[in-house]
C-alpha cells in the first residue's frame, strides 16, 4: 500500500472519508551539494516515495484546532493561533506551516488529517521538506488557491529556518513542490528556476541506504554555512556563486578556503552534469558524481564512514558509473548512477558486500517522480 492509501485508510477508520489527499515526494540529489545556500546549482530529482496527508475540514477554519494523526508518532492537536515552537518536535514542521501560512491569509484551522510516509527519516531523503510541502499543498487546496512551486518551497524553507531552527537552503522543498515526472531538474538557486533534464534511458539511479541515521548534523550544517559566509565577506562578493578557483585561492583561513573550494568546484560540476545528462553522456555524469563525493569528503568534510563505505562498495559493483553521498551528509543515503542493464546485479552486489557496523544496505532503483499534487479519494 502506498502512503496515500495508508493515510486514507487511517483517516477513514477515525473520521470517515477524507475530503482529499495531498502528497509530496522525498528527493535524491544527483549532484550539487551544499551549493543551494550559496546561490549555486543543484541537480535533484523527486523519488517515488511520498508523504501523504489525508485531509478533511472540521470546524472553524480560522480558529478551530487541527487534529493530526501521524502513523509514526501518534496524535496531536495544534492550535492555529498557538506558538509553533511549543509543540512536540515531530509536529513542529506542521505547526510551522499552520502558523506561517496564516500570515498569507490562508485559513489554517479547522481540520483533521491522517499523515503517513514512505520516506525514512534522518536518511537524507528530505522527509522534513515532504511533510511541509504536503501540508502546504493541502491547506492551499482547501482554500482554493494555487501557488507556484517556488512560493510553496519558500514557505517550507521558512518553516525549516524559523520554526525548526535549521538554516537550510531551498533545494529540498523546491524539488518536492516542482519536480517533473521522468526528469531530474537543474535548479538555479540564485534565479530560483528549475530546468527539467531528461534521464538518459541507458542509466538508472540507485538510492543506497547505509542504515546509518543523522546525528548532530544540524550543528555541522550551520558551521559549514558560516564558513561560506565568512569567505563571502572576506572576498567582498555577493555569494560564492560569483567566486572562481582563482579568487578562492586568496582566502586566508585554510579550512574556509577548502570549504569554498568545494562550493566553487561543485557548482561547475553541477552545470557540467546537467550538460552531460542533456547529451546522454552517462559516463561523464557518473564521473562528475564521483568527483563530487571526493570534494565533499576532503574539502567540505560532510561525508561519514557509512557513506564512504557504501560508495566504495558501489564502485566495485557491476555497472556502476559513479557514486556519491547525497543531501546534507554524515549519514543516511548515498546515490549511484548505474547502467540500466546491470541494475539488478548492482543492487544485489552492494547488499551482499556492504558491511558497516553490522548494518545492512537497502537499495532502491528509482525513476524520477512528479512533484506535490492533490489526489481525489479512492
Cβ 239 vs Cβ 232: under 8 Å: yes
Q: Does 117 bind ligand GLA (CB under 6 A)?
A: no
Under the binding rule (CB under 6 A), the answer on residue 174 touching ligand GLA is no
Q: Is 88 exposed, middle or buried (0-12, 13-18, 19+ CB in 10 A)?
A: exposed
Does residue 194 interact with ligand GLA by CB under 6 A?
Answer: no
| 30: number of Cβ within 10 Å | 30
Residue 306 interacts with ligand GLA (CB under 6 A)? no
CB nearer to ligand GLA: pick between 80 and 306: 306
Per CB under 6 A, does 119 bind ligand GLA?
Answer: no
Answer for the pair 344, 335: CB distance below 8 angstroms, yes or no. no
**Alpha carbon distance 102, 79 (integer Å):** 12
User: 262-296 in b/e burial notation, b at 16+ Cβ within 10 A?
Assistant: bbbbbbebbbbbbebbeeebbebbbbbbbbbbebb
When asked if residue 300 is in the footprint of ligand GLA (CB under 6 A), the reply is no
Residue with Cβ nearer ligand GLA (63 or 226) = 226
327 binds ligand GLA (CB under 6 A): yes
Q: Among residues 217, 161, 219, 168, which one has the least CA distance to residue 27?
A: 168
Phi/psi of residue 133, nearest 5 degrees: -65, -40
Q: By CB under 6 A, tell whether 44 contacts ligand GLA.
A: no
Residues in region 150-169 near ligand GLA by CB under 6 A: 168-169
Which CB sits closer to ligand GLA, 56 or 267?
Answer: 267
Which SS3 state, helix, strand or coil, does residue 90 take?
helix
- Give one DSSP letter per residue of 112-149, joined into a string: EEEEEESSPTTSSS-HHHHHHHHHHHHHHHHHT----H
Residues 4-33 that bind ligand GLA (CB under 6 A): 33
Q: Which stretch binds ligand GLA (CB under 6 A): 34-42, 104-112, 269-277, 303-311?
A: 34-42
Q: How far is the CB of 59 from ligand GLA (least distance, A)?
A: 34
Q: Given the complex with ligand GLA, which of 171 and 274 has the nearer CB atom?
A: 171
Selected from 36, 132, 209, 349, the binder of ligand GLA by CB under 6 A is 36
Among residues 21, 25, 37, 276, which is the contact residue for ligand GLA, using CB under 6 A? 37
Tell the smallest beta-carbon distance from residue 93 to ligand GLA (Å): 12
Dihedral angle computed from the Cα positions of residues 112, 378, 4 and 139, in that order, rounded to the nearest 10 degrees: -40
Q: Nearer Cβ to ligand GLA, position 288 or 343? A: 288
Closest distance to ligand GLA from the beta carbon of 279 (Å): 24
Shortest CA distance to 120 belongs to which of 203, 18, 211, 16?
211
Which of 296-300's residues contact partners 24+ apart within 8 Å by CB, and which partners? Answer: 296/33, 296/34, 296/262, 296/266, 296/324, 296/325, 296/329, 297/325, 298/258, 299/258, 299/259, 299/261, 299/262, 299/265, 300/33, 300/34, 300/224, 300/258, 300/259, 300/262, 300/263, 300/329
- Of residues 36, 172, 272, 299, which has the active-site annotation? 172
Pick from 18, 328, 332, 347: which binds ligand GLA (CB under 6 A)? Answer: 328
Q: Is 39 in the site for ligand GLA (CB under 6 A)?
A: no
Nearest approach in angstroms of CB 161 to ligand GLA is 10
Q: How far is the CB of 157 from ligand GLA (least distance, A)?
A: 8
Site for ligand GLA contains 178 (CB under 6 A):
no
**Residue 172 is among the residues annotated as catalytic for this protein:** yes
225 or 257: CB nearest ligand GLA: 225
Give the catalytic positions in this structure.
Answer: 172
Residues that bind ligand GLA in the complex, under the rule CB under 6 A = 33-34, 36-37, 168-169, 171-172, 327-328
Amino acid at each position: 500500500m502506498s502512503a496515500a492509501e495508508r493515510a486514507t485508510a487511517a483517516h477513514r477508520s477515525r473520521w470517515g472519508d477524507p475530503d482529499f489527499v495531498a502528497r509530496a515526494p522525498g528527493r535524491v540529489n544527483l549532484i550539487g551539494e551544499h551549493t543551494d545556500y550559496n546561490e549555486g546549482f543543484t541537480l535533484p530529482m523527486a523519488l517515488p516515495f511520498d508523504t501523504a496527508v489525508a485531509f478533511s475540514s472540521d470546524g472553524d477554519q480560522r480558529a478551530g484546532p487541527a487534529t493530526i494523526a501521524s502513523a509514526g508518532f501518534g496524535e496531536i492537536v495544534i492550535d492555529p493561533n498557538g506558538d509553533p515552537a511549543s509543540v512536540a518536535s515531530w509536529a513542529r514542521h506542521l505547526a510551522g506551516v499552520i502558523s506561517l501560512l496564516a500570515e498569507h491569509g490562508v485559513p489554517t484551522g479547522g481540520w483533521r488529517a491522517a499523515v503517513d510516509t514512505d520516506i525514512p527519516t534522518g536518511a537524507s531523503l528530505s522527509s522534513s521538506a515532504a511533510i511541509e510541502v504536503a501540508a502546504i499543498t493541502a491547506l492551499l487546496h482547501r482554500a482554493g488557491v494555487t501557488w507556484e512551486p517556488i512560493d510553496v518551497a519558500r514557505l517550507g524553507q521558512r518553516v525549516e529556518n524559523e520554526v525548526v531552527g535549521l538554516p537550510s537552503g531551498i533545494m529540498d522543498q523546491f524539488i518536492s513542490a516542482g519536480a517533473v515526472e521522468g526528469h531530474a531538474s537543474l535548479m538555479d538557486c540564485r534565479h530560483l528556476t528549475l530546468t527539467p533534464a531528461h534521464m538518459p534511458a541507458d542509466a538508472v539511479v540507485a538510492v543506497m541506504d547505509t542504515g546509518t541515521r543523522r546525528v548532530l548534523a544540524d550543528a555541522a550544517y550551520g558551521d559549514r554555512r558560516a564558513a561560506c559566509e565568512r569567505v563571502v565577506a572576506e572576498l567582498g562578493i555577493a555569494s560564492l556563486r560569483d567566486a572562481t578557483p582563482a579568487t578562492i585561492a586568496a582566502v586566508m583561513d585554510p579550512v574556509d578556503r577548502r570549504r569554498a573550494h568545494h562550493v566553487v568546484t561543485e557548482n561547475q560540476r553541477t552545470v557540467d552534469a546537467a550538460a552531460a545528462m542533456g547529451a546522454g553522456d552517462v559516463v561523464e555524469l557518473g564521473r562528475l558524481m564521483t568527483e563530487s563525493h571526493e570534494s565533499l569528503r576532503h574539502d567540505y568534510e560532510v561525508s561519514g564512514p557509512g557513506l564512504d563505505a557504501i560508495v566504495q562498495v558501489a564502485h566495485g559493483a557491476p555497472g556502476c558509473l559513479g557514486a556519491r553521498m547525497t543531501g546534507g551528509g554524515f549519514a543516511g543515503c548515498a546515490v549511484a548512477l548505474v547502467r540500466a542493464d546491470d541494475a539488478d546485479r548492482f543492487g544485489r552486489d552492494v547488499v551482499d558486500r556492504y558491511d558497516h557496523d553490522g548494518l545492512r544496505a537497502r537499495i532502491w532503483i528509482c525513476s524520477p517522480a512528479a512533484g506535490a499534487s492533490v489526489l481525489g479519494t479512492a
